[in-house]
Amino acid sequence: GEDVEQSLFLSVREGDSSVINCTYTDSSSTYLYWYKQEPGAGLQLLTYIFSNMDMKQDQRLTVLLNKKDKHLSLRIADTQTGDSAIYFCAERNYGNNRLAFGKGNQVVVIP
């Protein structure tokens, strides 16, 4: 079955980089996503990576995938106060409409 683990809390100073980690258990996961949730809002899709990729960069966001260790990370460069939110990783198998979410990681950016 699918099981996705995330660490819970990260505090970072404005301008520094922040790294959020996620591990998953389903080796057949094909698509891995990062979502951002600000207080009182829905989930905003930030970025995604296919399982045949090792890295994807999208402006300030860098996603690293270690498929052997089933480890996914999201690095946010030059973290801003607007990056304060909860970040969820999620995995999906090919042909499956369901997402398996991690528990989320709250990022607090200190000015």
Interface with other proteins by CB under 8 A: which range of 20-28, 29-37, 56-64, 71-79?
29-37
Is residue 101 involved in binding other proteins (CB under 8 A)?
A: yes
Instruction: Please give the structure tokens belonging to residue 36.
Output: 């951002």
Among 33, 63, 65, 87, binds other proteins (CB under 8 A): 33
Q: Which is nearer to other proteins, 24 or 104 (CB)?
A: 104
Q: Which is nearer to other proteins, 36 or 70 (CB)?
A: 36
Give strand pairing partners of 72.
22, 65
Q: How many residues bind other proteins (CB under 8 A)?
A: 21
Site for other proteins, rule CB under 8 A: 31, 33, 35, 40-45, 48, 50, 88, 94-95, 97-99, 101-104
